[in-house]
Amino acid sequence: MRQLSAKPRLLVGQLWQESHSFNPLPTTAADFTVERGGALVAANRNAGSALGGILRAGEAAGVEWLPAIAARARPGGPVEEEVFAELLEAFLAVEAPDAVCLDLHGAMLSGKRADCEGDLLTALRAKLGPDVVIAAALDLHAQVTPAMVAAADILIAYKTNPHADMVETGAKAFALLQEVMDGRLRPLRSLARLPFLTRGNDETDGGPLAELQGEARALCDARAELRDISICNVNPFVDVPEAGQTVLVTTDGDATTAEEIAERLARRLWDLRDDFVQELPSMDLALTRVRDAPEQRPFVLGDQGDRVLAGAPGDATALARLLLRSFPELRVALPLYDPDAVRNCGAAGLGEEVTLTLGGGITPGQTALQVTGRVLRLGDGRFLHSGSYMTGVPVDLGATAVLQVGKLSLLLTTKAPFVQDPAAYESHGLRLSDLDAVVAKSGNHFKLAFAGQARPLVVDTPGLSRFRPSDFPFSRARPIHPLDPIDLSALPIQTFGGSV
C-alpha cells in the first residue's frame, strides 16, 4: 500500500442514467444536469443520494475532495457515445487521487457500449494502477458485470426498492473504502449471475425480495467476515449480453464464504424467478376507484407502462384519452412529453385558448391526442425533489406549459417528464389538495415521494415500461428467462480480489 498524505485526496463523482434499449430517443448532453469542481460538492452535500452520503461521510472523516464530475439524466434511451466519451474524460482528468469513491447507477448504455460503468471503472483502474482503492455505490437495478467487479475493490448496491437507502449506501461505500485504505479490510468479491428478467412484484418490503433481502441482512449481521451482499435486479429493458440478476458478496479475505453465500442466494433467487410477476388494475378500474372513493383522494397514479423512471419516453396518451372520454369530472394532473406543444403554448401566451395535437409520437402503439384547452402556466421546469426519494436533488424538465383541458391539467414538457415527486406539480401551481389525482411516471419510487400526501395506485397502462419481456425485440440478452429455456445446472460464479 502506498503512503497516503495526511489528508487523503479522494476522486469523487457521480454518473446517473439508467438506459432503456428500446427507447428510440437517445440521451443527449442536454438531458444531463452536470456539476464540477466545488459546485459538485456544494450542490450534492445535502442531497438524498448516494453521492450525498459519500460527501457527508467523507467530510466527517476529513478527506480532501478531488471532484471529477456529477452528471445525472433521467432514465431513457442509450446515451450518445460522444457524450459518454466526454463524461469518461472528466473522470480520467483527475490526477493522482489517493482513492476513488463514486455514485454510479450501473445500467448505462451508450450508442456503442453495453457497459458504460464497467468501461469507466476499468479505465480508472488502468490509469491509477492496482494500489489506488476504488469504491462505488450502485443502484439496485444495476447491470453488474464482471468488468465492474474486477476493477472496483468495493461495489455495493441499494438494498431497498423503492430506494430508501441511497444515502446509507453512499456512506457505506465510503466506510468500506476507508477500511481498505487503512489496511483493515481485504475485499474479496464473488459475483453470481442469473439470466432472467423480473416481471414485477419486485419491491423489497413484500414479495420474494423481502424474503431474500432479509436473509442477506441476517447473514451479514451474523458473520463478521461478510461485509456486504448486494442483490441487483437489473433494469429489465437492457438488451445486452449476459443481462440478468446478480448476487455480489464481499467478504474480508474469505473466498470460500463469498462463493458459498453467492451460490446459496443466487440459487434461491433463481427458484423464485416466476414469483416476480404482477397483476395491476386496468386504467378503467383504477379511474373508477378514484371516482368512487372521494374519501381516499387525492390519489397518485403510477403510470406503469410509460414510466420515465424506467426509461420510457413519457409521451403516452392512453390515460389522458380515457380521462377526457370517460371520466371528465375527475380533476387530474398528468405529465406529457411534447416539446412542440410547449412551444405552441408559449407562442399563444398565458390565458389563451389553443387547439393542439399532443404526444403519442414516440411510444409504439400510441396515437396523438387532439385537445382544445387554455394555457394556465408557462415555466422553466426546474424544481428540487421535496419528497423522501432523491430529496433535494434538482430536476430540469425543460420549458413547460400547463394546459387546462376541462378538468384535466396537462403538464407539458420539453424533456421527458421525470415526474415522481409532489414538487413537480406544486412548482407549477398545481396543488394536490385541489386535485382528485396526479399521475407519476414511476411504478415504485413515487410511493416514497408522495408518502402521507396522496394514496398510491399503480395502473396497468400501455407503453415501453410494462414488465413484459415478450413485448420487446430482445436479441443480445438471449438466452434469457422467461423468453428462452435455461439450463442452470452450473451456476456461473466468479471471484475477484487481491488487487490491494
Q: Residue 312 corresponds to which amino acid? A: A
- In the bound complex, which residue of the shown chain has the CB atom lying closest to Zn ion? 141
Decide: helix, strand or coil at residue 142: coil
Q: How far is the CB of 238 from Zn ion (least distance, A)?
A: 12
Other beta carbons less than 10 A from residue 272's beta carbon: 18
Q: How far is the CB of 141 from Zn ion (least distance, A)?
A: 4
Decide: helix, strand or coil at residue 368: coil
- CA 230, 234, 235 angle in degrees (round to 5)? 135
Q: What's the grid cell of residue 364?
A: 409504439
Tell me, by CB under 5 A, how many residues bind Zn ion: 2
Q: What phi, psi does 467 have (nearest 5°)?
A: -80, 65
Q: Which is nearer to Zn ion, 139 or 254 (CB)?
A: 139
Q: What's the grid cell of residue 72?
A: 445525472
Q: Which is nearer to Zn ion, 251 or 391 (CB)?
A: 391
Q: How far is the CB of 247 from Zn ion (least distance, A)?
A: 17
Q: Which is nearer to Zn ion, 35 or 139 (CB)?
A: 139
Q: With beta carbons less than 8 A apart as the criterion, state whether 286 and 304 touch.
A: no
Q: Which of 100, 153, 106 is nearest to 128 (CA)?
A: 100
What character string, x for contact with Zn ion (CB under 5 A) and - otherwise, covers 82-121?
A: ----------------------------------------
Q: How far is the CB of 190 from Zn ion (least distance, A)?
A: 23
Q: With beta carbons less than 8 A apart as the criterion, state whether 40 and 67 touch.
A: yes
Name residues contacting Zn ion, limited to 212-271 (CB under 5 A).
Answer: none
Buried/exposed 375-385: b ≥16 CB within 10 Å, e otherwise: bbbbbebebeb
Q: According to CB under 5 A, which one of 141, 189, 227, 481 is a site residue for Zn ion?
A: 141
Q: Which is nearer to Zn ion, 168 or 263 (CB)?
A: 168
Q: What is the DSSP letter of 146?
A: H
Element at 385 (helix H, strand E): none
Stretch that binds Zn ion, among 136-144, 271-279, 384-392, 404-412 (CB under 5 A): 136-144
139 binds Zn ion (CB under 5 A): yes
Stretch that binds Zn ion, among 135-143, 191-199, 409-417, 446-454 (CB under 5 A): 135-143
Q: How far is the CB of 31 from Zn ion (least distance, A)?
A: 18
Q: How far is the CB of 458 from Zn ion (least distance, A)?
A: 16
Q: How far is the CB of 274 from Zn ion (least distance, A)?
A: 22
Footprint of Zn ion (CB under 5 A): 139, 141
